[in-house]
Structure 1
Amino acid sequence: MSDETSVNLYHRYRAGDSDAANDIFRRYVDRLVGLVRNRMSRPIQRRIDPEDIVQSAWRAFFDKATSGEFEIRQEGDLWSLLAAIAVKKMLSQVRYHRAAKRTVDRDGEGRGSGLKVLSESLDAGGPPPEQATMFFEELDAFMVTLDPTQRKVLGLRLQDWSNEQIAREIGRSTRTVRRTLEEIHLALLERLQ
């Protein structure tokens, strides 16, 4: 993979260089699929393939980039833009599959998505996709500081799993789950201060 900056790649693409489009795709496709896959609950993933969402995000990006709708000025802007597009596409699909008659909660597990609150916030004119992307990046940075059990517990809790469901999943007691969530809460408060 080239060491060329994303800013240069984007400007080459805007100038009509089709190789630049391939380079952008190769540089970010796996990262985008990972981002979407990590943000989707298992019930949603049974209905929607993360790669389909990323494919839709690529189409939107290349269509709008061709017409000059984006401005990439510094390193990191291109990734932030692609991530925001992918998250927006994903949230749209989550909302669609959470609609009353289609809800994934009817699929058996009855677990909601950790994205439900964020999705509803976006519906209500809440944070734009760029802020949602920053939130997820900050969440990723926080989760790296946790031990594997804490990461698993937090990940399941963000998918709206109950303490009892988490306890069964990780093979621990409900009390241990509560204690782990309290430790995570304290670590998050410390990070915020």
Structure 2
Amino acid sequence: MNEEATAEILERYRQGDPAAADELFARYVERLTRLARARLSPMLAVRTDPEDIVMSAYRSFFVGARAGRFTLSRSGDLWRLLATITLRKLYRQARRHRTAGRSAAMEALLAEKDAFSREPSPEEVVGLSDELESLLSRLDPLARRVVELRLQEESLAAIAELTGRSERTIRRTLAEIRGSLAKRMERAGDE
């Protein structure tokens, strides 16, 4: 399809033709999804689907197109426009996660066991292993054992019994670890 035909389809969309929207969507959706997937970091990919980013980009495009904000004057303008919108959405999503002080590996570590119901990618395994190793290396032996037992889904009572400490000590230890993780995530967001 040449750019002239694409400009005509865009004009049909502006005039309210729903089939034109389908044509514009079908023309670039796979290519945009590949672009988003290629630019999405493995850690952000744990929480964000490239398809969601592309859908958001298309929503923005269709709103702008309906308002007449875009004009196509050269061959490839529509692809460049859609790619730019998609990448801006992706970078905004990455920035939002970074500035919120979120660590994908840390969130995966603290998430419910349902988060582990699918087979993780090799990148996710490495990232989580590195994060867990870093966390455990900074803990004293008791705190390390508490985390290990908690990751094995042991109850507070069972952890207290296995470590020879009171449940109150176990709760306090877990609270200190959570506080330490929260501070670490804040620092990660500042970088």
**TM-score after normalising by structure 2:** 0.52
How far off is 1:3 after superposition? 9.5
Letter aligned with residue 24 of structure 2: I
Q: Which residue of 2 aligns with 1:35?
A: 35
Q: Which residue of 2 aligns with 1:79?
A: 79
Report the secondary structure of 1:75's partner residue: coil
Task: Give a deviation string over 1:34-91, Cα, whole Å, max 9, x none.
Answer: 1000001111100101111111111101011101111112221111111100000000
Question: Contact 1:57/1:89 (CA < 8 Å) preserved in 2?
Answer: yes
Question: Contact 2:32/2:86 (CA < 8 Å) preserved in 1?
Answer: yes
Give distance in 1, aligned partners of 2:49 and 2:91.
Answer: 13
Q: Which residue of 1 aligns with 2:151?
A: none
Give distance in 2, aligned partners of 1:53 and 1:45.
Answer: 11
Describe the shift of the 1:54–1:84 C-alpha distance in structure 2 as closer, same or farther (beyond 3 A).
same
Question: Contact 2:3/2:74 (CA < 8 Å) preserved in 1?
Answer: no
Gaps of 5+ in 2: 109-122, 124-191
How far off is 1:16 after superposition? 2.2
1:14-163 equivalence runs, <5 A = 14-99=14-99, 101-104=101-104, 106=106
Letter aligned with residue 58 of structure 2: W
**How many pairs were matched up?**
112
Give distance in 1, aligned partners of 2:98 and 2:104.
Answer: 6
Question: Contact 2:57/2:82 (CA < 8 Å) preserved in 1?
Answer: yes
Letter aligned with residue 51 of structure 2: E
Give distance in 1, aligned partners of 2:49 and 2:18.
Answer: 27
Report the secondary structure of 1:5's partner residue: helix
Report the secondary structure of 2:81's partner residue: helix
Give distance in 2, aligned partners of 1:100 and 1:16.
Answer: 39
Q: Which residue of 2 aligns with 1:8?
A: 8
Report the secondary structure of 2:95's partner residue: helix
Gaps of 5+ in 1: 109-155, 157-193
Q: Which residue of 2 aligns with 1:146?
A: none
How far off is 1:105 after superposition? 6.0
Supply the RMSD in Å over aligned alpha carbons.
Answer: 2.8
How far off is 1:100 after superposition? 5.0
Q: Whose relative contact order is higher, 1 or 2, with alpha carbons under 8 Å and at least 6 apart?
A: 2
Question: Contact 1:5/1:75 (CA < 8 Å) preserved in 2?
Answer: no
Report the secondary structure of 2:46's partner residue: helix
How far off is 1:4 after superposition? 7.1
